[in-house]
Amino acid sequence: MKQYLQNKEHKTVILILLTLLFLVVTPITVFHPLAGNLPLTVILPIIVLASLNLVFFEKLKLSTLIITRILILLPVLGIWMSGETFAKIILPFMAVNVFEATMVDFKRGKKYNAMVGLGLIVTLVLMTSTWHTEGNFYTNYAVTESGEVAFAATWIWALVYTFWNWFFVAVEFKPGVAFLHLGILATPVILGLVYGPEYWMVMRAYSLTFGGGVIQIYNKDYFETYFTGTKWEAFVTSMLEDKKQLIFMIINLLALASMYFLV
């Protein structure tokens, strides 16, 4: 088994298996805040945070994710805040989450991707949140004037975020981690296709906490060493070229701007 896992040619199979794991774990943590969320996206990440020597951004990102996963337990347990109050703070937390990465992009000179990050933050004003008392979970979506889900606008934001986040990961981490994030980022998109686009953001929060905050960080050396290859590294390098990043920035910002005509 060890030899199989360390064979770089098997990384695609392993990625598929990990994605299937994320697809199973994520809805469990979303729809079962005590039985699923507490052990898998609160306790395990805290153990990782406390036991490993993480770099600054890993500590910052994981801490932010853990805080929101803990806060959701308060309305579930009937402590301090209602579910409706919790739902109101989710989008500001998402803005902080995107802003953290955007500032890192600017610092690293990745201005094109950073501009997309700012665009994501600005268009969050078109989004709203709903708390679902039956199940104790929340959904987020671009909202029409009549208060309905703006499906096209919601998907635009989700897909732009997906590309933006992958580019950030490809710069911040080694190519093997960027390969893993193909599965982490695909998970909420697939689940959004199953449940509806309004579920994408909550699925993203939990898939990132478990997939990135637990699986990736705890096994970082493995993913950095064996989850890569010459062709994949060449692809990542090519995608991060300034000319391509400029094109992606223009496409993504135009897509975000179109949301104002779809709500």
pLDDT at 56: 74
pLDDT at 60: 79
Task: Supply 176's token pair.
Answer: 């093997």
The CB-based long-range contact list for 5-8 (8 Å cut-off, 24+ gap) reads 5/222, 5/226, 6/226, 7/226, 8/226, 8/227, 8/228, 8/229
Mean pLDDT by 10 residues, the chain (263 residues): 80 96 98 95 93 79 88 90 90 92 94 98 96 92 93 98 97 96 98 98 96 93 94 97 97 98 94
pTM attached to this predicted model:
0.95
Q: CA–CA distance from 120 to each of 13, 99, 115, 229 (Å)? A: 33, 9, 9, 32
pLDDT at 55: 76
pLDDT at 81: 86
Task: Supply 136's token pair.
Answer: 């104790």
What is residue 142's three-state secondary structure?
strand
pLDDT at 198: 97
